Amino acid sequence: MEMDQKQAVLRLPAEKLYANELEALRAADQDAKPAGWQLSPRSVLTFLTGGQVGGTTISPKYIGNKRLVEMAIATLLTDRALLLIGEPGTAKSWLSENLTAAIHGDSSKVVQGTAGTSEEHVRYSWNYALLLAQGPSDQALIRSPILRAMESGGIARFEEISRCASEVQDALISILSEKTIAIPELGREVAAQRGFSIIATANTRDRGVNEMSAALKRRFNIIVLPAPSSLETEIDIVRRRVGEIAASYELNAAQPDEEAIRKVVTIFRELRSGVTLDGKEKVKPPSGVISTAEAISLLTGSMALAGSFGNGELTDEDIAAGLQGAIVKDDAKDQLVWKEYLDNVMKKRGATWRSLYSACSEMNG
């Protein structure tokens, strides 16, 4: 019964998805666990960067700079709040979710930062029916994820913090420095249990939308997540994630072969950096975001196309359709950028690229 439920859920949280890995790590864990932690820091690191524990293989969740993960864990060890910054699609939320899952075992205490996020989402609000009926009481109190994390000594996640209005952001300041939330209506204060912390993420593209105040920044340890450093790393990331997503969404298509992934990642890296991989030719970057996450969703999207409308084999036409959508966003200029790239770079790449080139050119019109 429970098994069935699990499979029906569209997207499992990390602690459920990797429950067996976490269990294996917990069983084998010999090192001391900090207060409120489910695993020792070293095991958390293994969970995120992969390895072998007993008979269980731990799949790497964050591929790339291991040192950054170490720094993130060390930050949480010093019960400082952690802020992950990066271009869109650099696995900020992914890292945040998995860190929380490994340390706290519950990654569901999330505040999603939007323009509509209010201070109540950060602190607490009321069930007004009860409030009117009984007056202020514990039952009428609706706790924010952050308040719940404080009470249980866990980790709350704050996604896209820089999209909130600054007064909402500032509500965090007292929480992070005093580690308490006062509830004057009930005449009491909730003090954070040991183990409480916040992992926030922010997007460098949103810089300037709601610039974080210096006071708030000072309360976070900030780690910048880079785009994957090398072609091979990025291919590895894309392949793993495409495989995982394809399995959970039951896409009726074959996995894209290594060659197709390599081509897509090559195109993305070149458009992102504005120069061809060999460094010989300049390329105009498009206006939109060209992240690893986009490459992953492009490929899974193409797989869905192939599975639903094709014969299940990923063709160049499917990839071309995905590329068109990913690269040419609403801006008309992107179409020119993409055309220029096709004619100046891709066309000259020889026979192996020919059919993808033709498919893309046709699609781009």
CA separation for the pair 93, 88 (Å, rounded): 10
Smallest gap from Cβ 228 to another protein, in A, equals 17
Least distance to another protein from the beta carbon of 79, Å?
Answer: 9
Q: What secondary structure does DSSP assign to 269-319, as a single string?
A: HHHHHTB-TTS-SB-PPPSS---HHHHHHHHHHHHHHHHHHS-SS--HHHH
Closest-CA residue to 201 (of 164, 148, 247): 164
DSSP 237-251: HHHHHHHHHHHHHT-
Cβ pair 192, 57 in contact under 8 A: no
Task: Give the Cα separation of 260 and 107 in Å (integer).
Answer: 34
Pairing of strands 155-159, 197-203: parallel
Shortest spacing between CB 217 and another protein, in angstroms: 6
Shortest CB 26 distance to another protein, Å? 18
Q: Report, in Å, the least distance between residue 200 CB and another protein.
A: 12
Residue whose entry in the numeric block shows the structure tokens 């993409």? 338
Pick the closer one to another protein by CB: 172 or 327: 172
Smallest separation (angstroms) from another protein to the CB of 285: 21
Nearer to another protein, 176 or 235 (CB): 176
The residue to which tokens 């899974």 are assigned: 300
Residue 34 beta carbon to another protein: minimum distance, rounded to whole angstroms: 10
Residues that bind another protein (CB under 8 A): 41-42, 45, 66-67, 70-71, 73-75, 77-78, 80, 83, 85, 217-218, 221-224
What is the rounded CA–CA span in Å between residue 324 and residue 328?
6
Residue 41 vs 288, nearer CB to another protein: 41
Please give the C-alpha separations between residue 128 and each of 47, 116, 139, 205, in angstroms, as whole numbers. Answer: 42, 20, 11, 38
Q: Which CB, 85 or 122, lies closer to another protein?
A: 85
User: Judged by CB, which is closer to another protein: 42, or 349?
Assistant: 42
Q: Round to the nearest angstrom and report the end-to-end CA distance of the chain.
A: 51
Q: Which is nearer to another protein, 191 or 224 (CB)?
A: 224
Of the pair 214, 351, the CB lying nearest another protein is at 214
Q: Please identify, using beta-carbon distances, which residue of 208 and 365 lies nearer to another protein.
A: 208
Torsion of CA 132, 136, 140, 144, to 10 degrees: 130
| Smallest distance from another protein to CB 51, Å | 10
CB nearer to another protein: give 41 or 301: 41
**142 vs 224 by CB, closer to another protein:** 224
Using CA atoms, how far apart are residues 261 and 265, in angstroms rounded to an integer?
A: 6
Contact 304, 246 (CB under 8 A): no
Residue 306, burial from CB neighbour count under 10 angstroms (0-12, 13-18, 19+): buried
**Closest separation in Å from C-beta 25 to another protein:** 15
Sequence letter at residue 31: D
No. of helices (H) and no. of strands (E), the chain? 17, 11
Residue 71 CB, nearest distance to another protein (Å)? 6
